[in-house]
Amino acid sequence: MFRGRRAWFSQSVSPGPRGLWVAGGGALTDWLDAEYLFSSDATHPDTRSIHESLRYLEGRATVFHSCYLSACERAGAMEKPSVVLGHFILPPACLQEEIRRKIGCFIWEQVNVLEEKPNGN
């Protein structure tokens, strides 16, 4: 399902999600060339520099949480994507607390909680 698409992964992302992307036919590239930016930690220097880049200022560099890929796999959606990527936005670290106060915890925080449970679903 990722065939022909190019993604960048922050060094904060564990090998799992990256492997899912590649297994789904996606390519890896640097962040300026990537169509999809994945990170698991907005405080990581490589992610922070994206959030401080001109491209982000222009609204052309939304970073998504890498657990989107795990969520796809869990939903059995690796063939046809049904998990809404738009729910997995990873905003700049300095905004997260404020956003959390207004809308509750992020979906990727809920997903992380689910991931910690070793349940066979």
What is the contact surface with another protein in residues (CB under 8 A)?
A: 1-2, 5, 34-37, 52, 54, 56-64, 71, 74-75, 77, 80-87, 89, 91-92, 94-95, 98-99, 102-103, 107, 110, 114, 121
CB of 93 to another protein, least distance (A): 10
Residues facing residue 39 across a β-bridge: 65
Closest CB to another protein among residues 54, 116 = 54
* Whole-angstrom distance, CA of residue 116 vs CA of residue 64: 20
Q: Which is nearer to another protein, 19 or 25 (CB)?
A: 25
Coil, strand or helix: which one is 40? coil
Helix (H, G, I), strand (E, B) or coil at 18: helix
CA–CA separation, 24 and 10 (whole Å): 18
CB of 34 to another protein, least distance (A): 7
Q: What is the dihedral of CA 18, 11, 71, 101, to 10 degrees?
A: -170
In the complex, the smallest distance separating the C-beta of residue 14 from another protein, rounded to whole angstroms, is 20
CB of 43 to another protein, least distance (A): 15
